[in-house]
A = this chain, B = another copy of it.
Amino acid sequence: MSRKLLVDIHTHLYLPRYAQLLRARSQIPRITTLNGEERLVILAGEASTGRPVGPSYWDRNEKLRFMDTHGIDVSIVSPANPWLDFLPPAPAAQACEELNSDLEEYCATSPQLEGTRFKRLYGMAYLPVVPGAEVDAVCRSVESLGKLPHIKGVILGTQGLGQGLDDPVLLPMWETLARAGLVVFLHPHYGMPPSVWGAQENGHVLPLALGFPFETTTAVARLILTGLLDKLPTLKLLLAHSGGALPVLSSRLASCIAHDPVASSRPQHDARYYLGRMWYDAVAYGPEELAFVASTVGRAGRYAGNGKEPETRGTERLLWGTDHPFFPPLKGEAMWMSVTENLDAVKNAPGWSEVEKEGVRGGNAVDLFGL
């Protein structure tokens, strides 16, 4: 590739069919109307007025316009939370099949990136992982994605079949995902129980800024403790928001495991080892954060135990993203601060070479997703 691509791997959509589903609902999650304007209400404890929602969530032209404004060549779009989590198993399975077919068409009919083999849009699919579902149905859904050539991964929340992702019943799903070689984009929705945010009115700040990364951190730590990453070393887990708090708490996690009589013998390796087995979006909003996350990936080999593995730079597992269409500019500016912040973070990451920055901006995504 002579061209230096900017690839956005954290960019969401609500397909029109999904928006209709939310409009038809009278409970959270839903799309409601206030003074003639549509509002999205998806978080527990969120005021019933929610936040504005519009074409940037479902209109492909808006997605492409946003990409053009910010110089984004390719986007790997994923459905926004809360996915199908609120549906019973049968309607979830049906909606999943229809939505994934819509998503394939959304990507397949997108423009070619001029002068390249790439489409402008690829997708990560829904899975019908909802309480009460059978894991076999989930596995069949994963396998059916093989027929959708522009689907390069799946997006997955943390509730599993109601007991979280460390539910042993889910093992066949993970095996099927690993076998299919699909990227699994682990993404939060539930945050933490709203009581922890207190009584002061702080808008959406605490559930988004803290609750989301806490949720991802918890889910991955629980996966590490089950030994899943020992069983399935080829599973491609991509963590939202740069892994949340996992990198900064990984040595504490390792120490707490080592000191716990119940858990100490559970994972085969020091917890820090597994950070080198996963991928991370570069949606952390600051250059020091990105450099640090890379360092915790790079040092993982140090914790391989017997048969030491080499340390690496760590940057090879970071992939740039925007979280569009969330975090729109408060004053309607054309350039989104949430995008420029994450671009600047890569540009200013201390110690990174230009080649590494290019990898984080696009090359790593081309490799991981096999575009």
Which A residues are closer than 8 A to B by beta carbons? 163-164, 166-167, 192-193, 195-206, 208-210, 213-215, 217-218, 221-222, 225-226, 241-242, 244-245, 247-264, 266, 272, 284-286, 288-289, 292-293, 295-296, 299, 327-330, 337-338, 341, 345, 350
**A199 to chain B: closest residue by CB:** B163
Contact A199 B261, beta carbon cutoff 8 Å: no
**A294 to chain B: closest residue by CB:** B288
Hey, which chain B residues are within 8 Å of A208, CB to CB? Answer: 256
Query: Pick the contact of A203 from B200, B252, B261, B341 — CB < 8 Å?
Result: B261
Known contacts A241-B252, A248-B293, A251-B284, then 19 further A-B pairs from the complex at CB < 8 Å, ordered by chain A residue: A200-B226, A203-B260, A204-B260, A205-B225, A206-B218, A209-B252, A209-B255, A209-B256, A209-B257, A210-B218, A210-B253, A213-B245, A213-B252, A214-B214, A244-B245, A251-B341, A254-B285, A258-B337, A292-B292
Contact B166 A200, beta carbon cutoff 8 Å: yes
Hey, which chain B residues are within 8 Å of A251, CB to CB? Answer: 284-286, 288-289, 341, 345
Q: How many protomers of this protein does the assembly include?
A: 2
Contact A164 B221, beta carbon cutoff 8 Å: no
Query: Pick the contact of A206 from B198, B209, B222, B299 — CB < 8 Å?
Result: B222
Contact A214 B192, beta carbon cutoff 8 Å: yes
Query: Pick the contact of A296 from B288, B295, B337 — CB < 8 Å?
Result: B288
**A160 to chain B: closest residue by CB:** B198
Contact A214 B210, beta carbon cutoff 8 Å: yes
Hey, which chain B residues are within 8 Å of A195, CB to CB? Answer: 193
User: Once bound together, how far apart are the Cα atoms of A201 and B263, in whole Å?
Assistant: 8
Contact A292 B285, beta carbon cutoff 8 Å: no
Contact B259 A272, beta carbon cutoff 8 Å: no
Question: SS class of chain A's interface: helix, strand, loop or mixed?
Answer: helix
Hey, which chain B residues are within 8 Å of A253, CB to CB? Answer: 205, 209-210
Hey, which chain B residues are within 8 Å of A261, CB to CB? Answer: 203, 330
User: Once bound together, how far apart are the Cα atoms of A113 and B314, in whole Å?
Assistant: 45
Hey, which chain B residues are within 8 Å of A350, CB to CB? Answer: 295
Hey, which chain B residues are within 8 Å of A293, CB to CB? Answer: 248
Contact A262 B202, beta carbon cutoff 8 Å: yes
A234 to chain B, nearest CB (A): 23
Query: Pick the contact of A217 from B210, B222, B263 — CB < 8 Å?
Result: B210
Contact B196 A259, beta carbon cutoff 8 Å: no
Contact A259 B330, beta carbon cutoff 8 Å: yes
Contacts A206-B218, A210-B245, A330-B259 hold; do A295 and B288 have CB atoms under 8 A apart? yes
A253 to chain B, nearest CB (A): 4
A357 to chain B, nearest CB (A): 18
Contacts A225-B202, A251-B285 hold; do A197 and B213 have CB atoms under 8 A apart? no
**A193 to chain B: closest residue by CB:** B193
